A = this chain, B = another copy of it.
Amino acid sequence: MPTVELMQAAVHRYLRALNESDLEAIVALYADDAVVEDPVGSEPRRGLAAIRSFYARSLAFQLDVALEGQVRVAGREAAFAFRVSFVHEGRATTIRPIDLFAFDAAGRVLSMRAFFGTGNIEVA
């Protein structure tokens, strides 16, 4: 069972890696058979190859991300709110998701689900 500290550290590592456009550090957080559903309701990306190409596309935007509020760890899951800002088609854009990580016994992320909708996207 991964510890609370390990799960919190994974969240902070994830946000730092997004800020630093560190694709390898992001992929390293995930289990081989992980599933990423971002946003929730879209077709899930299954496995590291699909996850890698998903993040490679996202990092092309030079993301600026920051945690908003506390990381909530419960059972083998962690939920956290954050903002992610970037420029899209010349316009400053901010999205405020709540992400949910579920961990495997080894402390890798087995499932990531990103909750946000049009109401959480702000375009300047």
Q: A interface vs B, CB < 8 Å?
A: 4, 8, 39-41, 68-81, 96-98, 100, 114-120
Given contacts A69-B96, A81-B69, A115-B79, contact A74 B39 (CB under 8 A): yes
Provide the residues of chain B in CB contact with A72, threshold 8 Å: 96-98, 115-117, 119-120
Is B74 in contact with A40, judged by CB distance below 8 angstroms? yes
Q: Is the interface of A mostly helix, strand, loop or mixed?
A: strand
Instruction: State the number of copies, please.
Output: 2
Q: Which single residue of chain B is at the shortest CB-CB distance from A8?
A: B119
Tell me the bound Cα distance from A78 to B116 in angstroms: 9
Is A68 in contact with B71, judged by CB distance below 8 angstroms? no
Provide the residues of chain B in CB contact with A69, threshold 8 Å: 68-69, 81, 96
